[in-house]
Structure 1
């Protein structure tokens, strides 16, 4: 860790004997306001807007220009003091107003609306787990009713095992 900034977000730290400590403290609060539970206007924008509202935020694209040059993938927030940037960290998430979805930084780029995990739990019940083997298709046979019933039974068993229907 640097003596001047925090490790993860690069927030300015107060220094012993520092004059005007409120400047560093206010800068840190401004960056925290931008980084904690961010809501962005859009994701992947390369050109800064002409007349942003104070407090508005964007996720900078891969090839930024103008005031955003050198800030690829960062959160860019407009403040009374101009643009402030928070570099992205793997796992960082922001709500995208344009997409009406969560955007999450993968370590290389922002992914919009993609969720990942090992299972989905709703109201305390696991409803989707790991993918199972495919259900076999019915083949030939002289009694299609028997094959159809067997396939339907496999479908129902798969739906039950995923918690999508009750047992």
Structure 2
């Protein structure tokens, strides 16, 4: 029969043993040192100068002094002396100065933090993952940074997302209070899309890039082309709003055909152009003028033009073009007038167009 336990080598109290309390106390001392093992340090090769009673250490390789030959053993300072505990496979120790949990594998103390995590079903960081979101994280900041060349990397960083087929969806969902406000990615095709929503159910494409051509489309961009379907009579030296009352197209409904003007839906830089076709009333001595007017009162600088040469009815044409910075609700209208003689701005070919460019 052995005189010590198999795993912890705690001494037994033997039959007819004198001073049994010595053996019992030795066993308690060993238990006190081993149970819930937590060591102060694992990098020392020589005992510290003034250890407190009960301090424990994993002795580093190359030990000297009172620890000579104790490499990788547990050293406990107890009752004024060092006690040696040779580790067994599976012993675990918390290293206090590193905040690290180690396990003894028979050859050394190894970090229990895994070098790799493979084929996990669920992973929750600060929150609970579930079947719908097998990887979930609850945090205030995240960082991805490239492994440098000095670290054996390339210095580059690519984040890859992949979908099975072109008709599937792949993208980023941006939410407020778990209501989707924006989508960015490849949805239902391989074209890149950026879409926004007010309620998480109805979405508007703000940007689409064709992956086959690289052509960029902004489907919700305010743009229009409008014209007048009747001859607009204008007197001499009287600036008059042209009755642009029909549209060839009117994206976002920004052109108000009932009031013959464009109304800016959002702030930005807009480009406008116009074509005014002359039609004679009584005399071709008329001299045609045109301009674009902001909010019904202010001529937009650079938009005014005039043809001062001879006019030919339904042939002489004046072109205008300019850009202007608008605030939401600003209006732009086309105005015309004549010098010398009155006349008409001809139906169908007198037109006004514009779009947001920035």
TM-score (norm 2): 0.34
- SS of 1:95's partner is strand
**Rounded Cα–Cα distance in structure 1 between residues aligned with 2:52 and 2:86:** 21
Deviations 1:117-155 (A, max 9, x none): 886887996868xxxxxx9777xxxxxxx59x5587xxx
Partner of 1:142: none
- Pair 1:57-2:79 in alignment: no
Q: Which residue of 1 aligns with 2:98?
A: 99
2:104 is aligned with 1:111: no
Q: 1:68 deviation in Å?
A: 1.1
Q: 3-state SS of the aligned residue for 2:110?
A: strand
Please, what is the CA RMSD of the aligned residues?
3.4
Aligned mates of 2:106, 2:37 — CA distance in 1: 17
What CA deviation, in whole Å up to 9, does each residue of 1:94-114 have, x standing for no partner? 111111121211211112352
Mapped partners of 1:125, 1:27: distance in 2: 48
The structure carrying a bigger helix percent of its residues is 1
Alignment of 1:1-167 (within 5 A): 3-112=2-111, 114-115=113-114, 150=170
Cross-structure match for 1:155: none
Unaligned runs of 5+ in 1: 129-134, 139-145, 153-167
Tell me the CA shift for residue 81 of structure 1. 4.2
Query: For the structure 1 residues 51 and 17, does the alpha-carbon distance in structure 2 shift closer, same or farther, using more than 3 Å as the test?
Result: same
Q: Distance in 1 between matches of 2:16 and 2:26?
A: 18
* Distance in 2 (alpha carbons) for counterparts of 1:125 and 1:18: 59
Greater C-alpha radius of gyration: 2
Whole-angstrom CA distance in 1 between matches of 2:113 and 2:66: 30
- The one of the two structures with greater contact order (alpha-carbon pairs below 8 A, sep at least 6) is 1
Structure number with higher strand proportion? 2
Deviates more, 1:106-115 or 1:87-96: 106-115
Q: Contact (CA 8 Å) 1:42, 1:96: kept in 2 or not?
A: yes
When structure 1 is superposed on structure 2, of 47-56 and 5-14 the one drifting more is 5-14
Count residues with an aligned counterpart: 139
- Please, which runs of 5 or more residues in structure 2 have no aligned partner? 136-158, 173-358
Q: Runs of 4+ in structure 1 displaced over 3 angstroms?
A: 115-128, 135-138, 149-152
Q: Distance in 1 between matches of 2:23 and 2:72?
A: 24
Q: Which moved more, 1:29-38 or 1:107-116?
A: 107-116
Whole-angstrom distance in 1 between the partners of 2:101 and 2:32: 18
The alignment partner of 1:27 has SS state of helix
Q: Distance in 2 between matches of 1:45 and 1:80?
A: 21
